[in-house]
Amino acid sequence: MKYVDEFRDPQLVRGLVDRLHRITHHSWVVMEVCGGQTHAIVKHGIQQMIPSKIELVHGPGCPVCVTPLELLDKAIILAARPDVVFTSFGDMLRVPGSNSDLMTVKSQGGDVRIVYSPLDAVALARKLPHKQVVFFAVGFETTAPTNAMAVWQAKAEGLTNFSVLVSHVLVPPAMTALLAASDNRVQGYLAAGHVCTIMGTEPYEPIAAQYKVPIVATGFEPTDVLEGLCMLVSQLEEGRCDVENQYARSVRATGNTLAQKRVQDVFEITDRNWRGIGPIPLSGLALRDAFKDFDAASRFELGHLDVHEPEVCQSGLVLRGQLKPYDCPAFGTQCTPQHPLGATMVSSEGACAAYYQYGAVPP
């Protein structure tokens, strides 16, 4: 299979692993930011291949996992309304809210539909003028351009029955918040390649300089992760703290400027709450005043909801790299993919889901 098998070639993997063993002389804690990278690491046994002096910890790079519980509860309220067609990507449907999830609402008669693009939701609004169509706009910089385009298109067409429930978050502020924490252990970052495809690598340069940590934009296949680790460990061993790009086949320093422009047209930066982490200043996106009419939370007058996470769930510590999933007392017992307590167990990018699916055990 062209351009897939090549990035999983055993000979290339062995060569990169051997190189990593040769250059590693000290102990390092490295965080991969993206849940897609976490799944690649666990699925392919990368932690077991690399030197034991390198500890890989898992970051908050799963947009489903960090969507606030309050916002999920608001989504469930909207989805249960008889006048609403609630649309979302499929990965949000089984994420647990306080007492239910979107899939349960659908099974009880709510009009909840999976779409593959926010523009599909715009098309539904065009087709169903007697219904209010709401799209659950969740994600990092990667999905922000298409969500911005959907709102822009709806405004251009004068669609008054389309709105978005926005839960967009930004990666660099979260990385900064983790580094600034008193219990930080992270000494280097593998940055999410698809995020960098949109935003580029330049926004990471102030972080690397201020906190003296190397950052390498990295892809998602085994050879990508291993080459990114080689680049990162080389910097750590040499005492450098640069921003480097392993994912050069997709990422440029300046990113996708056209996509960035569309996002800036529709959204503005705001404070945002992250599930499991808490509020992070200037870490999210909200609709600009010119597009406020498309804000579902305002349109349906969804005020503040008082919510509480299950006390036994330790997913917040997992998202901050402080805990491995198997260290949570609920992992695999009270919390499973069939009955998840937290989003990290049900999301396709969640660390707990990866550990459960691939049978990861303590070293």
- Tens of pLDDT, residue by residue over 9-20, are 889 999 999 999
What tokens does 2 get?
A: 């062209």
The confidence band for 324, taking pLDDT boundaries of 50, 70 and 90, is: very high
- H helices of 24-117, where? 35-43, 46-49, 63-66, 69-79, 102-107
Q: Which residue has the higher pLDDT, 23 or 4?
A: 23
What tokens does 352 get?
A: 């707990």
**Average pLDDT rounded to a whole number, residues 197-215:** 98
Q: Which residue has the tokens 């569309």?
A: 262
Return phi, psi of residue 315, to 5°: -60, -30
- H helices of the chain, where? 10-23, 35-43, 46-49, 63-66, 69-79, 102-107, 118-127, 144-157, 171-180, 193-199, 205-211, 222-238, 257-266, 296-299, 315-319, 343-346, 351-358
Q: Which residue has the higher pLDDT, 308 or 287?
A: 287
Helix (H, G, I), strand (E, B) or coil at 269: strand
The confidence band for 348, taking pLDDT boundaries of 50, 70 and 90, is: confident
Instruction: Please report the pLDDT score of residue 87 as a whole number.
Output: 98
The confidence band for 298, taking pLDDT boundaries of 50, 70 and 90, is: very high
Return phi, psi of residue 163, to 5°: -150, 165
**Average pLDDT rounded to a whole number, residues 163-189:** 96
CA 164 to chain centroid, in Å, comes to 19
**Average pLDDT rounded to a whole number, residues 171-194:** 96
Closest CA to 67 of 259, 273, 247: 273
The confidence band for 1, taking pLDDT boundaries of 50, 70 and 90, is: low
pLDDT surpasses 90 at 59: yes
Instruction: Please report the pLDDT score of residue 132 as a whole number.
Output: 98
Name 84's Cβ contacts closer than 8 Å, sequence gap at least 6.
78, 111, 131, 132, 133, 134
pLDDT surpasses 60 at 302: yes
Instruction: Please report the pLDDT score of residue 2 as a whole number.
Output: 66
Q: With beta carbons less than 8 A apart as the criterion, state whether 266 and 151 touch.
A: yes
Instruction: Please report the pLDDT score of residue 130 as a whole number.
Output: 97
Return phi, psi of residue 32, to 5°: -90, 130
> pLDDT exceeding 90 applies to what percent of the chain?
87
pLDDT surpasses 90 at 137: yes
Across the chain, what does the average pLDDT equal?
95
Query: Alpha-carbon distance 55 to 289, whole Å?
Result: 45
What structural domains and CATH numbers belong to the chain?
A: 1-321 (3.40.50.11740), 322-358 (no CATH)
**Average pLDDT rounded to a whole number, residues 69-91:** 96
DSSP assignment, residue 293?
Answer: G
